[in-house]
Amino acid sequence: MSPNSKSPQRWVRPEVQALTAYHVPDPGNLIKLDAMENPYSWPAPLVDEWLEVLRAVELNRYPDPGAADLTAQLRRSMQVPDGMQVVLGNGSDELIQMLALAVADKDRVILAPEPTFVMYRMIATFAGMQYRGVPLAADYSLDVDAMLAAIESCQPAVVFLAYPNNPTGTLFSATAVEAVIEAAPGLVVVDEAYAPFTDASLMSRLGEFSNLLVLRTVSKMGLAGLRLGLLAGPAAWLGEIDKVRLPYNINVLTQASARFALEHQATLDEQTGWIRRDRVQLLTALTGIPGVQPYPSDANFILFKTPAGQADAVFESLKAQGVLIKNLNPAGGRLQDCLRVTVGTPDENAAFLAALRQSLGTQAAASSTTG
Ligand SMILES: Cc1ncc(COP(=O)(O)O)c(C=O)c1O
């Protein structure tokens, strides 16, 4: 490459060139159980009412930059304690990015247990920071001693704890989380993306620790298409993070639609209630399939292990039978042989279970004929 080359190889940071872009598979007509979405749509009269609301939205105007009305509704809905400040993001992904941008420096570390939500690592890289992953214990609980040792040695600017964790579904113990908050020299962000599916939350404890922030999203409760997340915590931190937010990051359609949806939260709560109920049945059914080892989950998905070496083939077989889930086996390490299925409607769950039984039967037959 000549020194005057105008090529991306010359200018794009090497760590960005080394990344693989986040891949989202095209679901086509497959039953979509790969992305932790709520599978339920709204009743037709509610859709009509929502469309009426959208009629009044002025697309020629910039949105309210502070999204004041929506913020007030979200504070009530998510029970943000009085005195705590809130910043909204274009999905909680954007808030993770704002957090990284606010603290970024090339020698600074973002730390998280592994395996966890992949965007913590990716965004650390985008922001030009270091990332340190600390392996979870064998049962996917938080390895507190290992976390405390890593915090001591690399003094992270931010620790992310997904609570419950993705992709394991595990809810870390509250005492383990507290130990991390107390030991961390910088921020601890408790990411409660799956809050609608668990009774546990640290939201009410905001303010008790000066370095604790809580991250939420409306995605998993049934509004993934709106792209709206919320970060809550002490004003001293949020005032700084808000400075790196792009103006107008929550568009007019999202503001109007989320406000409407939150006025009808009972509908969303009913749907997440069905998902919680069906998660129990799905776990029981998976437990009864020979060779399958599912893990208990406090989220709207279940991680399970296939017989050794069969995850890729089972994933492909499910796809061939019309069901798309998430193959985690390529990530390797603690996720070897692992697949993750989102809890769908009862019909979708039944189709998935039938396809899984079929693929495991096929696998068993294939391995017995190949010796
Ligand atoms: C733990 C966790 N946090 C955040 C997100 C991102 O959510 P959003 O749709 O708000 O960007 C996800 C998405 O899967 C997640 O699993």
User: What single DSSP character describes residue 166?
Assistant: T
pLDDT of 62 above 90: yes
Distance of CA 193 from the midpoint of ligand 1 (Å): 6
Atom of ligand 1 nearest to the CA of 89: 10
Chain segment 13-25, per-residue pLDDT in tens? 998 899 887 778 8
pLDDT one-digit tens code per residue, 227-270? 999 999 999 999 999 999 999 999 999 999 999 999 999 999 99
DSSP 183-218: H-SSEEEEE-TTGGG-S--SGGGBTTBTTEEEEEES
Q: What are the helix (H) ranges across the chain?
A: 8-11, 14-17, 44-55, 68-77, 92-103, 118-126, 144-154, 174-183, 235-241, 252-263, 265-287, 311-320, 346-369
b/e sequence 23-60, b meaning 16+ C-beta within 10 Å? eeeeeeebbbbbbbbbbbebeeeeeeeeeeeeeeeeee
Question: Of all atoms in ligand 1, which is nearest to the CA of residue 96?
Answer: 4
* One-letter amino acid for residue 214 of the chain: V
With b for 16 or more beta-carbon neighbours within 10 A and e for fewer, the 329-350 pattern comes to: beeeeebebbbbbbbbbeebbe
Helix pair angle (252-263, 44-55), 10° resolution: 140
Q: How large is the average pLDDT for residues 331-335?
A: 93
Q: How far is the CA of 366 from the centre of ligand 1 (A)?
A: 37
Over 90: is that where the pLDDT of 26 sits?
A: no
Q: What is the pLDDT of residue 336?
A: 97
C-alpha 356 to ligand 1 mean position (Å)? 26
Helix (H) or strand (E) holding 58: none
Q: What is the pLDDT of residue 22?
A: 75
pLDDT given for residue 20 in this prediction: 83
pLDDT tens digit sequence for 207-229: 999 999 999 999 999 999 999 99
φ, ψ of residue 199 in degrees (nearest 5) = -90, -10
pLDDT of 142-189, one tens digit each?
999 999 999 999 999 999 999 999 999 999 999 999 999 999 999 999
Q: How confident is the model at residue 5 (pLDDT cuts 50, 70, 90)?
A: confident
Indicate the top mutation candidate among 217, 228, 297, 342 to test ligand 1's pocket, ranked by most ligand atoms within 8 A of CB. 217
pLDDT of residue 371: 46
With beta carbons less than 8 A apart as the criterion, state whether 75 and 97 touch: no
Tell me the mean pLDDT in the region 290-311. 97
Residue 354: pLDDT above 90? yes
Token representation of residue 146: 């290992």
The pLDDT value recorded for residue 164 is 98
Q: For residues 46 and 119, what is the distance between their CA atoms, to the nearest angstrom?
A: 34
- State the chain's mean pLDDT as an integer: 95
217 CB under 6 A from ligand 1?
yes
Q: Rounded to an integer, what distance in angstroms lies between the CA atom of residue 219 and that of residue 226? A: 8
Ligand 1 contacts CB of residue 162 (under 6 A): yes
Both tokens of 170, joined, read 């595990």
Of 361 and 300, more confident = 300
Quote the ligand 1 centre to 219 CA distance (angstroms): 7
